[in-house]
Amino acid sequence: MRLHTHDYRAPDTEGIVDGAVLMHREMSRLLARRGSVVLHDLTSGPDCVAGLGEDDVVYAGSGPYAFLYHHWRALHGGRFRIVREAHTALWSGYWAQEELCAPLLRDGDLALFPTEYTRRLFLRNFPALTPAGSAVAYPMLDRLPRKAPRPLPPPGAPLRIGYLGALSLAKNFDQVVSAFARCHRESGGAVTLVCAGKPNDPRWEADAVHAALRGSGVPPEAVRMEGVRPQEELGAFFAAVDVLLFPSTASRETLGRVVVEALAHGVPVLAAAVGPAVELLPDRNLLPTALDARGGFDMGRVGPLGRVDEDVLVAKLLGRDFAPAVLTSVAPYTDATFLRALAGHPVPDPAGHDPVLPAAVRVAPRAGGAPDAAAATALFRDFFERRDGALTAALDALAARTGHDDPALRSIVAAPERNLADYRAFPRLLDALVLPPLTYTLAPAPAGAAPTGDTPRQRTAP
pLDDT tens digit sequence for 412-452? 999 988 888 888 889 999 999 998 889 999 986 544 433 33
* pLDDT at 211 (0 to 100): 95
Q: Is 206:117 a contact under the CB 8 Å cutoff?
A: no
Residue 181's SS3 state is helix
> pLDDT by residue (tens digit) across 11-26?
565 556 577 788 888 8
Q: Global pTM?
A: 0.92
CA angle (170 as vertex; 164, 172 as ends), nearest 5: 60
Give me the pLDDT at residue 436, please. 83
Backbone angles phi, psi at 274, to 5 degrees: -135, 155
Residues of the chain under the 50 pLDDT cut = 446-462
According to the model, what pLDDT value does residue 456 have? Answer: 34
Chain Cα centroid distance, residue 172? 15
Extents of the domains making up the chain: 2-143+333-356, 159-330, 373-434
The rounded distance, in Å, linking the Cα atoms of 109 and 320 is: 46
Cite the beta strand spans of 187-322 per DSSP E. Answer: 191-196, 223-225, 243-246, 269-272, 286-287, 289-291, 297-298, 306-308
User: In CATH, what class is 159-330?
Assistant: alpha beta
β 439-442/361-363 pair status: antiparallel
Cα–Cα distances in angstroms (integers) from residue 64 to residues 16, 69, 97, 285, 430, in the given order: 16, 11, 6, 32, 11
